[in-house]
Structure 1
Amino acid sequence: MPPVPSILPARSPVGGFALCHAAGAVAALVLLLAADGARAQGAADTAPLQLKPSERLAEQVPADVREQLPTFFFGQRTSGRPNLETVIEGDAMMRRGDTMIQADRLEYDQASDQAKAQGQVRINRAGDVYEGPALELKVDAFEGFFQSPRYQLLRAGAHGQASRADFLDDKRSVLHDATYTTCKRQPGPSWLPDWVLTATTMNLDTEQDVGEAKGGVLRFMDVPVLALPTFTFPLSDARKSGFLPPTVALDNLNGVELLVPYYWNIAPNRDATFYPSVMSKRGVMMGGEFRYMEPTYAGQLRLDYMPTDKLRDRERWSYEAKHSGVIQTGVKGIGNLAFSLDANRVSDNDYWRDFPSTTTSLTERLRTTDANLRWSQGDFSAGLRALKYQTLQDVSAPIVPPYDRLPQITGRYGRYDVGGFDFSVDADYTQFSADRSYTLQPNAKRSFVLGQISRPWVRPGWFFTPKLQLHAAKYEFDAPLASGATSATRTVPTFSIDSGLVFERDANFFGKAWRQTLEPRAFYVNTPYREQNSLPIYDTSATDFNFATIYSENTFTGNDRISDSNVLTLGVDTRLLQPDTGAQVARFGVAQRLRFKDQRVFLPGGAVVDDRVSDFLAGASVNWDPLWSTDATVQYNPDTRRSERFTVSGKYSPGNYRVVSTAYRMQRATSGLPESEQVDVGWQWPLNDLWGDRGQDLGPGRGLGSGRWYSVGRLAYSLQDRQFVDSIMGLEYDGDCWIGRIVVERIQRSNAAANNKIMFQIEFVGLARLGSSPLKTLRDNIPRYQFLREQVTTSSRFGSYE
């Protein structure tokens, strides 16, 4: 960067500045201080400035370059000596880079780079503002002190006051006898914030975005709620090491639970959380979680350990490990391998019942260890998998464990649009093993190959795709079947044709113009019968009967059954689209399967399917208005003339923090599944709407304004059992700078047992959350639930530019 030139006009008698008179005898002083010769020479060797992603000018400009920034002075009267000192009185102002100082009187010594200000002093440093009666400061180093300042921190959205502020540098300061709050300052001398943190000494580090209070007391509604000799708090949403606020939970399983977590910010890509807890009914549990993220891999580890559970009189533990990444082989022709691991284990069969919140598994009684190694290159792909289950058995309700796959080897070769043809070959070798006392069938090694070729014709307005498949499988059993066989083979061909038409027209409904489509579809499948009913079942089940599976070749998932079929599926959809955007507003569809011969392949406990006409499917999805959405599906049995399954759901969301979702689900009894009928309602809604106060929509993550109550909850009621299956109900209050939450959760574990839990939390916005957090419960159970506070934008220093 070239040296800063001196562009001053002819010097006045006081030298070093130009004095101009304006109307009303008010003068504006502009002084550009040039660096001395040594500084100018150093600046000449400095590399050009490069922009970096940062919010602060001080971080954008290197220290040696900052010394070359010009200094601007403004005021009504000025005096001083050239290149020595400058004194400005009356509306005095000094600017350099992102620093602005205002005062009634301002003295600046150029040699020491020290400024002294008195009378209504105000300093703005990159959006952080301090105000008070007197200031002494070395401007570039930002070292000095401020007497009795009031302050505002931009990124934290916080403010307070102190008897004295010592500036150590541009990123660190020490406040004495200080207060700190994010509550908006109200006019009036008697105003007291809803919550305030007081401390004898408060250290603020804006580089680490951490504040440390010594001798600190947190007061809420002028009542002390937390007092510690020393504790730290965030100045932004950036991560930092330290103790997190303790949480207290109450439920009927563990009693009163106190948890004191500690967070360790190891590096930007690694962290750890330790969360020891004490349960009044059980004892002490130690827990920890470690997370990591690298350019080629990432994962997390979690461990919970209880030396002695007083209720079970035994040791309890659980662990969970997740890892995914790329293995760089360095071998040409092989390249990289993708690897993933998901391991989950617990100490005993009762763990899922006693500690339901310690697992992320979708099936509580099944814990998996699943390792995958995958490779792909061009048209080839292959995989190696090891999958093992831990099945948590209940003597009163045992379950059949799924089969471990130790190992499973897969491969695939596929080509598309080769002379208009698509073809692929899939191969699978799996060794299945499980406890035969539960499965009542032998374990096996199974080899499976699926080859298929198709010729799609796709044109505007129609499509036609014939396909030929060949399924081949071989089994080797570790014990003979009922027939005495220790091995078996099966080969099944399948021929299918998928075809359809697409018509469009302009239409007018309800006074609006639409584009309407009519899309009839025909899908034919012919698979000859091959005897398979004597084969064991390892990974196969019946597919759900819906609009996706009715247009498929096989009525089973997995590879142990290939259904014999001579069926034609006929269906038609019609859609309403907005003509200008193409957005779908409504869709209606019907489909039915016509069977030309009996299906003789079935699952154990099943029977021959001899219906010539399947159940009738009808579905609708309507989003007529952006505020409303509705979906419905009906499965109607023409023989019994009743619905076998009916589902209807709707959602109303007129804006942020206003959502109500409802669903009704009915399922007739089928093989292996009991009849069920359930109503589900979930909501988040501001109660102030009831008395006409709709507040102000401040956008996602900012709420609807202060002083507002929100009702939140989800109720799932079983009409069959005449009881609530799951129920969550709660209230949230937005006090602007604090949020209160109380949520009651009840989860039905069986007909006779349920888990009850009360969660209460106070969130001091920008500081900490105290209590047992219900946020994860609300987010997981209420569709479109929104946090009342969430960091969605970053504060900009230009928002506080002066």
Structure 2
Amino acid sequence: MTRARASILCLLLASVAAVASPQLARAQSQQSVPTAGGEVSIVADRFEQIGPDNLLVATGNVEVTRGTGRLLADRVEINRTTGDAVATGRAIFYDGDDRLTGERIEYNIKTGTGVVYQGELHAAPYYRLTGERLERLGESVYRVRQGVFTTCEDEPPTWSFHLGEATADLEDFVYGWNASFWAKSVPIIPYFPAFAAAIRRERQTGFLPPQLGTSTKKGFFAEIPFFWAISDSQDATATLAAYERRGFGGAAEYRYIISNDQKGRLNGYFVDEVFKEGELRGFGSVKHDWQIAPGLSLRGDLNAVSDDTVLRDYESALAQRSAQRAESNLFLTKTWTNWSFVSRLYWYQDLTTPRPVELQRVPELTLSGVRQELPGLPGFLYQTDTSLVNFLRYAGSEGARFDLHPLVSRPVPLAGYATLTPFVGGRVTAYSTTVTDVHSPVAGGAAIEDTNGEPRVRELLEFGSDAESRASRVYELGGWAGLDRLLHSIEPRVHYIRIIGHNFYSLPLWTNQTDRIPEANWFEYSLTNRIRGRTIGGDSAEADRFDLFKLVLASAYDIENTQLGNVAGDLTIQPSQMLRLHGDLSYNVTGDGLQAYTTDVTVNIPRIVGSVGTRYNRMPPVIIPYFVQIPGTFNPGNGLASNQATNFLQGEVKVDLLRNLVGRVKTNWDIRTTSVVETRFGADFKFDCWALSLDYVRRNPDRPGKNPDNEFRFSLNLLGLGNVVSTRVGAGATDSEPRFK
């Protein structure tokens, strides 16, 4: 055997021996060491005792554990008398869920205090704080010198706050002085005296990021919100606001949960226009839901404004700026298997006119019974609607009204091919007053009814029949296009009703569907063509069923007035979840042509979500009677001229332009006047630890001769901190869900 081969063989044998004989390899040992701060567990490669009893030195993969704290390092010195521990070399300290690393960690086991030099602290879920010196003052509380606070993981961080001195409570918030805001290595805001931010593992009390901006109407403004986590079931947000050209104001929101069955919310906003006309303005809402018992509930939704234009001046969303009413409703509802009782208080403010034309309902009591078997008459069904309403009004007719409307029907199957359902019913409506005349106010506006206070009763008899059929066929697809089968059905339907009675006239006009019922002889018919699809179900999911295609064609004949009704159509096409088309129209066949139509296209494909639709209506403002089942078939006569028709285009699209960039556009365009009511352009830049949103809103002037209330806003969202900087030019102090109609 050559010398080289012998050497190789010796090395192989030595390697095998080391693996086969673990007792020859160095193994870690564990000791329980009593200290001034209590007993600690230490695992290390080697232990060395220096002096009689005080100093214990552990080296090599050291792990010191006491309670929820763990200290890891290459070398740890522990003084048993004082409880001081000094860790060097890859030193890591786990403080519960938080982690600290540093060149050197000094920790006192007895007091729980210590110092980390050139340290870095990671607090769940994503907060990071570094500093020349991090001093642990107590559980999860640190004092920091020359610190950097961020939630970014890159180096240098995309954004960070540099702090001369700071205090961080990892269960609450971090605050400091001599601060600056940096993007990478560039100081964007080189100095501001103080900084504070909530570390939001859960709801935390503290100041939220301020919102700043400028507006042609309000001038420069600042809004500073403060959030108060009162308890697990309550919180509140108060906002102070200042407007250069208007004055000072604020907003408040209080949310509460009393139990699983009872919760609510209060909102309010006010502004004292000391720089304008000294007027105090505002709006607010109260919402409360209470499920008192099974079948018994109380619901409140109360809204109020100080004046007709405050929403237009201080709200941002189009739905709220164009609100015509501020409505308040209080419901007490009791339901049974076939019956329901609703007690309602309804109060509203009309925002379209300064005249007090509101018609309040205090109270409105309704008892309704769904279609159910008639006792003693097998096969017969009955249903009942009853209401009692007290109407209050400052200008115009007011009084009480009782309405009783029972109906009996008898479905008759026709050899399994169709169902014929004749019905008969009556209707009694009693009014506390009678209309004698109608006059127009001197100041202009809607006509006002004159009444004499004498009761009047309208008695009606209605009878007729419904007939309907259905023919269908199933087509097996076997998984083609993800569908198991198709169901194609054709559903014809005919509706006839005759209404006779007396006292049709001289009645107050309080609610259209009840007070304006004409003598009628109405025949209506429709044909529905429907294709439904069913997906393939699995073991863990049921099959979905949805309409792929639905076409409804309908028309009517008004026998009472010997007049053809309009032709109505409603089409829905949804070949997949990514595309949906819908349209409906009403066409006058007696020569007046197209009366109304709507179209909607919705697209939801990878990277693009959008919808576009049109609204066109030239039908005169008439009341469609309650017995018309498909409103588009009602022919009120000649429609409005084309230049008076309502004609809108509405569209919205959101596109993922790049991995980190989303573009948004939303528009409302008045085609008749060729003017844009409102268009919103937006872009969202989204990254791991920050996001930037830009929005520009272009509006039409609220009134002729006025400047448009356009606005530009931007918001910088830093992960873990919310909206740090937000500019909302022309926006209000609160942006929340629509509360007005």
**Are the equivalent residues in 1 in contact too, given 2:338–2:372 (CA < 8 A)?**
no
Q: 1:226 to 1:264 in 2, by over 3 A?
A: farther
CA distance in 2 between partners of 1:111 and 1:717 (Å): 80
Amino acid at match of 1:196: S
CA contact 1:297–1:323 (8 Å) conserved in 2: no
Aligned residue identity for 1:297: Q
Give the distance between the partners of 2:161 and 2:380, measured in 1 at CA: 72
> 1:451-600 maps to which residues of 2 (within 5 A)?
451-454=406-409, 467-477=423-433, 480-481=436-437, 486-492=454-460, 493-497=462-466, 499-506=468-475, 512=481, 514-531=485-502, 532-540=504-512, 557-558=513-514, 560-561=516-517, 564-580=520-536, 581-584=543-546, 586-595=548-557, 597-598=559-560
Match of 2:711 in 1: 757
Q: How far has the Cα of 1:537 moved from its partner?
A: 1.7
Structure 1 residues 422 and 150: CA distance shift in structure 2, 3 A: farther
> Deviation per CA, 1:92-150, whole angstroms, max 9, x where unpaired?
23456754432111245678776432111012344422111222335697543322211
Q: Report if the CA contact (8 A) 1:361-1:367 is conserved.
A: no
Q: Specify the alignment match of 1:666 in structure 2.
A: 616
Q: Which of 310, 315, 320 is matched with 1:356 structurally?
A: 315
SS in 2 for 1:528: strand
Contact 1:469 1:495 in 2 (8 A): no
1:432 aligns with 2:403: no
Paired residue for 2:298? Answer: 339
Hey, what's the Cα distance between the residues in 1 that align with 2:401 and 2:705?
42
Q: Which moved more, 1:504-513 or 1:426-435?
A: 504-513
Relative to 1, partners in 2 of residues 1:21 and 1:115: Cα closer, same or farther, differing over 3 Å?
A: farther
Cα separation, partners in 2 of 1:686 and 1:337, compared to 1, 3 Å: closer
- What is the number of equivalent residue pairs in this alignment? 664
Q: In the aligned structure 2, how far is the partner of 1:30 from the partner of 1:466? A: 91
- Residues in 1 aligned to 2:162 and 2:416: alpha-carbon distance in whole angstroms: 72
Q: Separation in 1 of the partners of 2:197 and 2:362?
A: 49
Please, what TM-score do these two structures have when normalized by structure 2?
Answer: 0.78
Distance in 2 between residues matched to 1:538 and 1:253, nearest whole Å: 40
- Corresponding residue of 2:637: none
Corresponding residue number in structure 1 for 2:88: 118
| Partner residue, 1:305 | 270
CA distance in 1, matches of 2:412, 2:145: 79
The CA distance in 1 between the partners of 2:577 and 2:346, in whole Å, is: 44
Cα 1:21–1:263, aligned 2, differ >3 Å: closer, same or farther?
A: farther
| Alignment deviations for residues 326-357 of structure 1 (CA, whole Å, 9 cap, x no partner) | 496xxxxx999633333333333332433334
Contact map agreement 1:320 1:342 (CA 8 A) in 2: no
The Cα shift of 1:369 comes to 3.4
Q: Distance in 2 between matches of 1:100 and 1:559?
A: 79
User: Residue 382 of structure 1: which of 330, 341, 353 is its match?
Assistant: 341
Residues 675 and 95 (structure 1 numbering): CA distance in 2 closer, same or farther, change over 3 Å? Answer: same
Q: Which residue of 2 aligns with 1:716?
A: 668
CA distance, structure 2, for counterparts of residue 746 and residue 511 of structure 1: 47
Match of 1:733 among 685, 709, 719: 685
Please point out which of 732, 749, 771 is paired with 2:726: 771
2:226 to 254, 257, 262: 262
CA distance 1:574–1:594, shift in 2 (3 Å): same
Aligned amino acid, residue 665 of structure 1: R
CA offsets 1:424-445 (integer angstroms, 9 cap, x no match) = 4332111223343xx5xx2231
Q: Distance in 2 between matches of 1:484 and 1:425?
A: 31
* Distance change in 2, residues 1:226/1:317 (3 Å): farther
Q: 1:462 to 1:159 in 2, by over 3 A?
A: farther
Structure 2 residue runs of 5 or longer lacking an equivalent are 1-19, 439-450, 537-542, 623-639
1:146/1:166 contact within 8 Å kept: yes
Would you say the 8 A contact 1:321–1:341 is kept in 2?
no
Report the residue type matching 2:264 in the other structure.
Answer: G
Alignment of 1:42-441 (within 5 A): 71=41, 73=43, 75-79=44-48, 87-94=57-64, 99-108=69-78, 115-138=85-108, 142-155=112-125, 157-186=126-155, 192-208=156-172, 210-220=173-183, 222-225=186-189, 228-236=192-200, 238-295=202-259, 296-311=261-276, 313-326=277-290, 338-357=297-316, 364-376=323-335, 381-394=340-353, 401-413=357-369, 416=372, 423-436=382-395
Comparing 251-260 with 450-459, greater Cα deviation is found at 450-459
Superposed CA offset, 1:191-237 (max 9, x none)? x32321122333332333x2222343333462343855444312225
Q: CA deviation at 1:563?
A: 6.4
Deviations 1:585-625 (A, max 9, x none): 51221221332612xxxxxxxxx5x4334313131231x23
Shift of 1:722: 0.9
SS in 1 for 2:563: coil
| Structure 2: distance between partners of 1:29 and 1:468 | 94
Residue 461 of structure 1: CA displacement?
Answer: 9.2
* Equivalent residues of 1:714, 1:728 under 8 A apart: yes
Partner of 2:600: 649
> In the aligned structure 2, how far is the partner of 1:524 from the partner of 1:182?
66
CA contact (8 A) 2:380 2:409 kept: yes
CA apart distance, 1:568: 3.3
Residue by residue over 1:433-483, the C-alpha shift from the partner in whole angstroms, topping out at 9 and shown as x without a partner, is 3343xx5xx223111122234556899997665554432210112764579
CA–CA distance in structure 2, aligned partners of residues 779 and 368 of structure 1: 17
Q: Residue 621 of structure 1 aligns with which residue?
A: 573
For the residues of structure 1 that align with 2:695 and 2:198, how far apart are their CA atoms? 26
Alignment partners' CA distance in 1, 2:514 and 2:684: 47
Whole-angstrom CA distance in 1 between matches of 2:469 and 2:84: 82
Q: 1:457 to 1:34 in 2, by over 3 A?
A: farther
1:275 aligned partner, one-letter code: T
Any conservation in 2 of the 1:173–1:203 contact (CA below 8 Å)? yes
Partner SS, residue 312 of structure 2:
helix
- Which stretch of structure 1 is more off in the superposition, 354-363 or 755-764? 354-363
Q: 2:29 matched to which residue of 1? A: 29
Can you list the C-alpha shifts for 1:302-332, whole angstroms capped at 9, x where unaligned? 3333334544x2422224231324496xxxx
The RMSD of aligned alpha carbons is 4.1
Deviation at 1:736, TM superposition (A): 3.4
Aligned partner of 2:433: which letter? Answer: F
**Does the 8 A contact of 1:446 with 1:475 survive in 2?**
yes
- Of the two, which has the highest radius of gyration? 2
**Cα distance in structure 2, aligned partners of 1:530 and 1:359:** 46
Q: CA deviation at 1:402?
A: 4.4
Q: After superposing the two structures, state which structure 1 stretch, 511-520 or 724-733, moved more.
A: 511-520
Contact 2:211 2:224 in 1 (8 A): yes
Counterpart in the other structure of 1:790: none
> Given residue 491 of structure 1, which amino acid in structure 2 is its aligned partner?
E
